[in-house]
Structure 1
Amino acid sequence: MRPFKNLEQQIQILRERGLAFDNEEEAKLYLLDNNYYNIINMYSKVFQENTNQYVSGTEFKEIKALHILDTEIKANLMKFILVAEKHFKSILSYYMAEEYHDMPYAYLRTSSYPDTSPLEISRTLSDISRKIASLIQKKEPNSVKHHHGNYHDVPLWVIINELEFGTVRHMYKHSSSRVRTKVARRLAQFLYSNTKESVQLPPEYIDRMLEHINEIRNCVAHNNKLHHFTCRKHLYHVAVLFEPYGVLKDSPKNTVFSTFLTLQCFMPDKDYRIFYNTLLKRFKVQSKNISTIPFSKVLECYSFPDGWHLSEKRAQQTKE
């Protein structure tokens, strides 16, 4: 069994490894409130020469700065992934309802989906059915219960906001080619608003982007370490998305940065500009608190390009 170390012992271990402190009492409280294991094991490795030795001159406040930066990035990713999720759910529910507008509960019928993956479709529809049933059975009033009781139907646009992102992603994956293409065209319009370039986005590419967003979303929602996080699969190369930021055809595209760029396909430019500028500011602020190592090493943790934090802000709409 690994022995417990009190705060004084934790500080002593870090001192023996070459870490400096400008205020030990503040450091103790930070470790107490945020968990020594989370702070040191997850965020200090970038400052280490080896397992038991920090780069000469490293201060605890630099590790703290990286922890704060990671927390801020996760908070903003979640905020804007929810924006992207809202748009995607609305667009998908509209085009599916348009396709099957004369059929109650059409989205729960296997006949509404191609039969290429019957088991996956059945699992997805079962998840949706359980969610509807649980909301109908609740004592408190809700929109699902209201529509079921008054209209004997729960339209997709009513239930869709209650569904998990992964469930909605699978709905899209198994929808008819007509629905998939219409959704992809609308998302391409979002991309155009951000890049001013027209690009066709095949539905299969949307599937892969949604997988990445889902994986990042899960990482952030569970408050796991985001730096050095990679998605299981790589995205295909879309020049308009990646090349303005130096991400070439053979560069990795399963990173936090690549997912950050693909979110341009899921929100209009006014939203993405705010997202972009907010992250830029967070990196820029914390770069002033990290001096022992080149800040490029921190950017590399998230696969952001060297010097990205010094980029120009995107122009935002001013309030009238």
Structure 2
Amino acid sequence: MMHFSKPAIDVSQQIQLLKRRGLQINDEERAARFLEVVSFFRLTPYMRPFQIPGDDHRFAEGAGFRNLSHLYSFDRRLRLLVMDAIERVEIAARAMISNHMGPKYGAHWYLDAQLFKGRYKHTQLLQTVRSKQQDERRDYERECARVERLAQTSAKRKTELKVKRSKESYARHYGLTYSEPELMPGWAALEELTMGALSHLYAGLAKDADRKTIARRMELPWPLLQSWFHTLTIARNICAHHARLWNRELGIKPELPKKASFQWPDSLTRPRHNVRVYVVMCMLNYLMHKVSPDTSWHQRVKGMFDEFPSVSEEVMGFPADWRGDVFWS
């Protein structure tokens, strides 16, 4: 273990450091403004493609600050595009699970531990929903106390404000209105789960038949949809934390069709492509056409690359001929 000794340096010192490392900075004032809002540390991963490997962070000849900011802007656009699609898929997933499980097993189906595998953390699911209702009730009580302290406000107006506050979320409304069952119905509870929790819930359903019926709404085999939900959860977390997505390896190998019974790019039958962002884009392209048949999301993907022609598609796992694939048309 080593002793950390790197000093904290201000923006002007950061610019001088980059220049000493060989980075061309034609407009130092503009570069300073960029570093004031995007930290040097956050920008570091976007420097690496322009640095000489093993040469103490030296930049290759001709590398400029604009290259870094341009790549950063591309990654930001990519994350926003991915998040836009994942939002649609996540909302659809909640509806698909609710629309199957509710009518089949009842409004409070998720309370029944028998509907889940033995290793599924059912108690944790219930505590998540319970905590949400408790937090909402505490917030409501604090808001009511503030309403009571309002000067020159009539008792009638105070009552109206309290009623209005009680309806600001369903979790709050349910806890204030119903005593049995303790927790809200399934269609509301699912809305309180994160994408990760929703993915685990789907994988934790005890009956293959239930997972199969839900997956059929996306015209996918259930093992594939289960794996995709997990992969998209990881992608969503990367985007939500504004982390680098552009050339990242996913760290997992999602399930992919060996021989698809649906439209799917041939290039993704080759294992070397299934750990980069291209596989996420393909999953989202397929799923977006299921949840929104008139979507133009795939055209927006192409448009983004047209705006950033200098960004390498290869490092993201995109094959050279991906634009001509009917899957992306």
Same fold (TM over 0.5): yes
3-state SS, counterpart of residue 228 of structure 1: coil
Are residues 136 and 100 of structure 1, via their aligned partners in 2, closer, same or farther at CA, if it must alter by over 3 Å? farther
Take 1:307 and 1:11, find their aligned partners in 2: how far apart are those partners?
A: 39
**Contact kept in structure 1, 2:322 and 2:328, CA below 8 Å:** no
How many residues end up aligned between the 2 structures? 290
Distance 1:34 1:210, change over 3 A: same
Cα distance in 1 between the residues matched to 2:79 and 2:294? 16
Which of 167, 178, 184 is residue 197 of structure 2 equivalent to? 167
- CA displacement at 1:88 relative to structure 2: 0.6
Using the TM superposition, name which of 152-161 and 239-248 deviates more: 239-248
Which residue matches 1:109?
112
State the secondary structure of the residue aligned to 1:281: helix
Q: For structure 1, which segment, 174-183 or 216-225, has the greater mean C-alpha deviation from structure 2 after superposition?
A: 174-183
Of residues 168, 175, 182, the one that matches 2:213 is: 182
- Offset at 1:265? 4.7
1:182-205 alpha-carbon deviations (Å, 9 max, x no partner): 1110111xxxxxxxxxxxx33222
Query: Matches of residues 13-162 of structure 1 in structure 2 within 5 Å?
Result: 13-39=17-43, 41-50=44-53, 51-101=56-106, 105-115=108-118, 117-118=119-120, 120-139=121-140, 140=165, 141=167, 142-147=169-174, 149=177, 152=180, 154-162=184-192
Question: More deviation in 211-220 or 223-232?
Answer: 223-232
Q: In 1, Cα distance between the equivalents of 2:190 and 2:276? A: 28
Verify the 8 A CA contact 1:88 1:266 in the aligned structure 2. no
Partner residue in 2 for 1:197: none
TM-score by length of 2: 0.78
> Is 1:302 matched up with 2:316?
yes
In 1, Cα distance between equivalents of 2:279 and 2:39: 30
CA RMSD in angstroms comes to 2.8
Query: What is the alpha-carbon distance in structure 1 between the residues aligned to residue 138 and residue 33 of structure 2?
Result: 46
Local SS of the residue matching 1:29: helix
Q: Residues of 2 paired with 1:257 and 1:97: CA distance?
A: 35
Q: 1:249 to 1:242 in 2, by over 3 A?
A: farther
C-alpha separation between the residues in 2 aligned to 1:131 and 1:156? 14
1:72-107 residue CA offsets vs partner (Å, 9 max, x unmatched):
111111121111101111011110102212xx5221
**Counterpart code for 1:233:** I
Structure 2 unaligned blocks of 5 or more: 141-164
The 3 A distance-change label for structure 1 pair 311 and 183 is closer
Could you tell me which amino acid in structure 2 is paired with residue 275 of structure 1?
W
The change in CA–CA distance for 1:168 and 1:136 in structure 2 (over 3 A counts) is farther
SS of residue paired to 1:237: coil
Q: Tell me the SS of whatever aligns to 1:122.
A: helix
1:257 aligns with 2:278: yes
Which residue, 261, 279, 282 being the options, matches 2:301?
279
Is the CA contact 2:248–2:277 (under 8 Å) kept in the aligned structure 1? Answer: yes
Q: Secondary structure at the match of 2:215?
A: helix
User: Quick one: distance in 1 between partners of 2:224 and 2:80?
Assistant: 26
AA in 1 matched with 2:317: S
Q: How far did residue 260 of structure 1 move?
A: 1.5
The residue type equivalent to 1:276 in the other structure is: H
- Residues in 1 aligned to 2:188 and 2:179: alpha-carbon distance in whole angstroms: 12
Gaps of 5+ in 1: 189-200, 316-320
